[in-house]
């Protein structure tokens, strides 16, 4: 009876979730972009695009791929005690996950890449997905520390409202949230080995409702809650996460050099942090283009002319899409899968039992 009512509520909210909220989000994005670039000189913008130095755009493309290759190497350190997997294979799966997520914007990137590695390496999907969550939580902690560094030491532009306090608060919340998630994940590993534990009973009930596809779910999750036993792999995972953020901060350096804009070191860190928070917030409130809006606003705060700022943002955004979709779908194809299969599998895993 209760389940029937819940299903009825979900069906009633279908149009709201599917059409109304995305439409409102798109309208908000359009208004924000119009406000950001209302004084844009189109001729100067097109001139900035045409005169951009190709060599710096090639460096930008290389660092976008290098960041994801570093993520693959970091994921390898976490996965190693479960099964040693090539960093190149993990890199391909990461690109495939992002590529599918760009074409099918439902936030399924971790599901797709975990599904791919599980299929290719003969592992349980839930185990691989759990290691992916650990990798993401570690990233969240490191990102929060970068936000705190920028808030404390960076030369943040003075605007109406306290940006420094906002970054410090957001970084603090991120640090607490992701540290707590990591703590709960590893503390929860022990009860998963006992059938009488409340958490075990809850997961077993979920598995029973999911039928054969969720058989052995509790054991699979338990196997996926791993942290490298060797100290050098532990340090490597943390350092790789730090290196990823440093590489990400240089993306605007290369895009800026392409159009003749040079900023300070902390300005690039500020851009990375501000754009990251904007992207997360935009996804949460269902507003598309969070990176474009957040980056544009941050560049405006730093006094970069609108024409060069928009060019820098678009170079980053478009190259990221091209480099994720193309190689990502190529990896899918070479692995014997296609986007429909990856999307269907991810949607099936994401669906309530």
- Tell me, yes or no, whether 319 lies in a domain: yes
- Tell me, yes or no, whether 197 lies in a domain: no
- Tell me, yes or no, whether 55 lies in a domain: yes
Nearest to 240 by CA among 100, 39, 66: 66
Kindly report, residue by residue over 185-228, the tens digit of the pLDDT: 888 788 887 887 888 888 888 878 876 667 778 888 888 999 99
Contact 225, 134 (CB under 8 A): yes
- Tell me, yes or no, whether 5 lies in a domain: no
Q: How far apart are CA 16 and CA 18, in angstroms?
A: 6
- Tell me, yes or no, whether 12 lies in a domain: no
Structure tokens at 9: 């509520």
Percentage of residues of the chain with pLDDT beyond 70: 80
Burial of 78 from C-beta contacts in 10 A (0-12 / 13-18 / 19+): buried
Kindly report, residue by residue over 23-76, the tens digit of the pLDDT: 766 677 777 777 878 888 889 989 999 999 999 999 999 999 999 999 999 999
Give the H or E element holding residue 339: helix 339-350
Which CA distances in Å does 60 have to 31, 74, 165, 254, 315? 29, 21, 31, 5, 9
Kindly report, residue by residue over 105-155, the tens digit of the pLDDT: 666 788 889 989 998 899 998 999 999 999 999 999 999 999 888 887 766
- Tell me, yes or no, whether 210 lies in a domain: no
Contact 176, 153 (CB under 8 A): no
- Tell me, yes or no, whether 203 lies in a domain: no
- Tell me, yes or no, whether 205 lies in a domain: no
Number of domains in the chain: 1
Contact 217, 202 (CB under 8 A): no
Burial of 161 from C-beta contacts in 10 A (0-12 / 13-18 / 19+): exposed
**b/e map 183-218, b = 16+ CB within 10 Å:** eebeebbebbeeeebeebeebeeebeebeeebeebb
Q: Which range marks the domain in which residue 327 is found?
A: 25-34+41-188+225-350
pLDDT(15) > 70:
no
Categorize the per-residue pLDDT at 8 as very low, low, confident or very high, splitting at 50, 70 and 90. very low
């Amino acid at each position: 009876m209760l389940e029937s009512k819940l299903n009825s509520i979900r069906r009633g909210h279908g149009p709201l979730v599917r059409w109304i909220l995305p439409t409102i989000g798109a309208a908000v994005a359009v208004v924000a972009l119009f406000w950001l670039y209302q004084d844009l000189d189109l001729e100067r913008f097109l001139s900035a695009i045409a005169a951009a130095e190709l060599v710096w755009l090639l460096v930008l493309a290389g660092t976008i791929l290098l960041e994801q290759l570093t993520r693959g190497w970091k994921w390898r350190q976490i996965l190693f005690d479960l099964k040693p997997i090539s960093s190149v294979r993990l890199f391909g799966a990461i690109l495939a996950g992002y590529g599918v997520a760009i074409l099918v914007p439902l936030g399924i990137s971790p599901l797709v890449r975990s599904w791919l590695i599980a299929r290719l390496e003969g592992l349980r999907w839930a185990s691989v997905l759990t290691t992916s969550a650990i990798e993401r939580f570690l990233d969240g902690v490191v990102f929060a520390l970068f936000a705190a560094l920028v808030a404390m030491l960076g030369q943040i532009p003075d605007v109406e409202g306290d940006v420094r306090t906002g970054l410090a608060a957001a970084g603090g919340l991120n640090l607490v949230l992701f540290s707590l998630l990591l703590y709960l994940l590893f503390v929860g590993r022990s009860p998963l080995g006992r059938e009488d534990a409340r958490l075990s009973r809850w997961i077993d009930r979920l598995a029973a409702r999911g039928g054969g596809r969720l058989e052995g779910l509790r054991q699979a999750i338990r196997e996926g809650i791993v942290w490298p036993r060797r100290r050098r792999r532990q340090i490597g995972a943390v350092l790789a996460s730090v290196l990823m953020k440093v590489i990400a901060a240089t993306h605007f350096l290369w895009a800026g050099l392409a159009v003749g804009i040079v900023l300070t070191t902390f300005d690039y860190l500020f851009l990375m942090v501000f754009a990251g928070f904007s992207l997360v917030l935009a996804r949460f409130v269902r507003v598309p283009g969070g990176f474009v809006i957040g980056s544009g606003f941050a560049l405006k705060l730093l006094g970069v002319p609108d024409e060069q700022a928009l060019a820098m943002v678009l170079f980053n955004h478009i190259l990221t899409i091209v480099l994720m979709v193309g190689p990502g779908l190529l990896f899918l194809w070479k692995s014997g899968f296609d986007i429909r299969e990856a999307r269907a599998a991810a949607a099936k895993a994401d669906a309530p039992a």
